[in-house]
Amino acid sequence: MKSAISNFNVLLLTGLLGGMSGCMAADLDTGTPDTAYEEEPASPAGETPVGEKDKAQTAGHGDFAGTAFVHLFEWRWNDVARECEEWLGPKGFEAVQVSPPNEHISHDTWWARYQPVSYRLESRGGTRQEFINMVNRCDAAGVAVYVDAVVNHTAAFNGGGVGSGGSNWSVRQHPMYSAQDYHSPCAINNYGNRYEVQNCGLSGLPDLNTGSSYVQETIAGYLSDLRNIGVAGFRIDASKHMYHGDIAGFLGRAGNPYTFLEVIGSAGEAVQPGEYTYLGQVTEFAYSSHIGHRFKQGQIADLDQISNGKIASSDAVIFVDNHDNQRGHGAGGVVVSFHDGALYNLANTFMLAFPYGYPKVMSSYEFSNSDHGPPGPGGCSTSGWVCEHRWTTIANMVGFRNVTNGAPLSNWWDNGNNRIAFGRGDKGFVVINKESGAMNQTLQTGMAAGVYCNIAAGDFDNGACTGPTITVDGSGHANFSVGAFEAAAIHVGAQVSGDGGGDGGGDGGGGDGSVSVSFSCQQGHTSFGQSVYVIGSIPELGSWNPANAVLMSPDAYPTWNKTMSLPANQAVAWKCLKRDEVDPNARVEWEPGADTSFTTPSSGTATTVGSF
């Protein structure tokens, strides 16, 4: 199967499912660079930074820019597990980023999670066993888990105390570290001074000597413990405050997991994101500022040039907002967040539709001040959680991202102001109207003729659309009526009728003694190199021979679909089948239970559903 899902399974197979972040003050100092600063120490003897060959073999992140993940900020582990099963898996999210799982200071602010006491998995998120259960349940739902790893520093709040897991601690004295494991105390006064940025305390937090062999082994032990549990990748918090060679050291000791690094780059600063891209992907804060300015204050007509001046698409983790900059921390600039309502919806629509970077969807909670901690447990069923990832447009655009993965930007259109439209080859098309009046425009979509569900306004399920539909004619044109500050989006995985094209279309039927039958297999979670097939009692379905089964499309993963022509008035028995894509007799898994049986109609269409 050559699809986004194959790439996703590569990620799982390889284990590489791939400023001040989380501290009490923002990374905003942009002092004048020193003309001469103390050079950083070399990497420890015997340690070789991860090179480009290693990156291609381990992180491999260029293969995955194009799918999407979500940050369930401050969610409890039990709630994350349930969300993976009920929403993230069915909607096609590749992964979920969770808050730091380490033991932290006992305090109710969100930033308490970013002051580590120990690397025990006992936190506000839950216990170690609850964390393990979450990882297992998310994995079973087809959703990888990324951990926010805080390893640049340790806690300082009130000078000491008892952590969330019961550990006693004081400044520079922790269960895993003592005074000799830190850099000498100093303050960051000038972000143009590399030595200060990478050796002094971020917001007064004790700065670990990440160049020491012991510290690297300790950090690697923490990461390896998480990997052994099943964690697929890591966000490395405050990466620019660590020499990149030090990070290469502890990542290498941990087996080079998939990583994306928080590096806030600002003009005039000594440390820039490009220094870290050989290690993995890097957070592109400039993207957030750019898109925020365009959607809140400027015009969007030139957003086809948004990648100019930024790190390469394959190196970039992008976001409309994140937990820092929605609170005024991070790199500053104009930020659009859930407080902006429709504008935020449009900004996320663009991010998920445009072929640049690896997009992260933010899922927030309401707050009245920047220190405010999370609501109680329960996730989206509890008051106070915003749950942007469940907004119809944002959630369905994740499916758009998956279906159009790898397709080029095409058929760009704009009105020179705040209305834009563009395609992704012949796989999808999106229209964004950031103006106060409705628009009505006929546009070239590049897509095959057919009737498509407008997934920006409704859900597509089992061949039916709960919202409006859009018709593409034989020349690829379609008329779009889009309300003020709204969007429209269509893709081949949400086609109600027509020729479709690729894996998203149907064969039609009728007139030759045949009818169109749509098969759907739900909960079809697969591993790398394995796909889902239709198999059944008639020759068109392989006559129960796995070698002749019919490949389905993962356009709504983990639901797989296939529409095909079958003889009219034909009795059919069938099942869903998983098997190896190369060897039909390998890794075979049959749908449990009895066969699904039906008789095709004499004319028209039919739909039938199975499930693993």
pLDDT at position 578 over 90: yes
Asked if residue 515 lies in contact with residue 564, where contact means CB atoms within 8 angstroms, the answer is: no
Same domain, 375 and 436: no
What range defines the domain where residue 147 resides? Answer: 4-31+57-403
Q: What is the DSSP letter of 207?
A: B
**Candidate ranges 96-110, 488-502, 592-606; pick with highest mean pLDDT:** 96-110
Band (pLDDT 50/70/90 cuts) for residue 498 is: low
Q: Which residues are catalytic?
A: 237, 262
The answer to whether residue 41 is domain-embedded is: no
Band (pLDDT 50/70/90 cuts) for residue 332 is: low
Asked if residue 471 lies in contact with residue 496, where contact means CB atoms within 8 angstroms, the answer is: no
* End position of a domain, from candidates 340, 373, 403: 403
The answer to whether residue 459 is domain-embedded is: yes
pLDDT at position 248 over 90: yes
Q: Supply the pLDDT for residue 236.
A: 98
The answer to whether residue 458 is domain-embedded is: yes
Mean pLDDT of 307-335: 87
pLDDT at position 101 over 90: yes
The answer to whether residue 341 is domain-embedded is: yes
Same domain, 470 and 586: no
> Which position has the token pair 């491999």?
60
> How far is it, in rounded angstroms, from Cα 548 to Cα 570?
19
To the nearest whole number, what is the mean pLDDT of the chain?
86
Q: Supply the pLDDT for residue 514.
A: 76
Same domain, 552 and 583: yes
Same domain, 122 and 148: yes
| pTM for this prediction | 0.74
Same domain, 278 and 352: yes
Band (pLDDT 50/70/90 cuts) for residue 259 is: very high
pLDDT at position 192 over 60: yes
Higher pLDDT, 548 or 182: 182
The answer to whether residue 49 is domain-embedded is: no
Same domain, 92 and 158: yes
Mean pLDDT of 264-271: 89
* End position of a domain, from candidates 498, 516, 547: 498
Same domain, 335 and 472: no
Band (pLDDT 50/70/90 cuts) for residue 331 is: low
Q: How many domains does the chain have?
A: 3
From 54-63, 330-339, 344-353, 387-396, the region with the lowest mean pLDDT: 54-63
Mean pLDDT of 448-466: 94
391's enclosing H/E stretch is none
Same domain, 100 and 169: yes
> How far is it, in rounded angstroms, from Cα 286 to Cα 309?
9
Same domain, 483 and 539: no
The answer to whether residue 568 is domain-embedded is: yes
What distances in angstroms separate CA 214 from CA 250, 296, 576, one per listed residue?
A: 10, 47, 52
The domain that holds 347 is classified in CATH as 3.20.20.80
Q: Supply the pLDDT for residue 2.
A: 30
Q: Residue 402: which region, alpha, beta or left (left: phi > 0; alpha: psi -120 to 50)?
A: alpha
Same domain, 395 and 534: no
Q: HSE of 412 in the Cβ direction (CA atoms, 13 Å)? A: 12
Q: Supply the pLDDT for residue 127.
A: 99
Share of the chain above pLDDT 90, in %: 71
Q: Supply the pLDDT for residue 43.
A: 33
The answer to whether residue 51 is domain-embedded is: no
Asked if residue 191 lies in contact with residue 30, where contact means CB atoms within 8 angstroms, the answer is: yes
Same domain, 382 and 487: no
The answer to whether residue 44 is domain-embedded is: no
* End position of a domain, from candidates 480, 498, 516: 498
Mean pLDDT of 399-424: 97
pLDDT at position 17 over 70: no
Mean pLDDT of 165-190: 98
From 166-175, 494-503, 560-569, 600-609, the region with the lowest mean pLDDT: 494-503
pLDDT at position 214 over 90: yes
> Which position has the token pair 């099963």?
85
Same domain, 202 and 105: yes
From 75-79, 150-154, 425-429, 500-504, the region with the lowest mean pLDDT: 500-504
> How far is it, in rounded angstroms, from Cα 161 to Cα 278?
39
Strands 571-580 and 530-536, by their bridges, are antiparallel
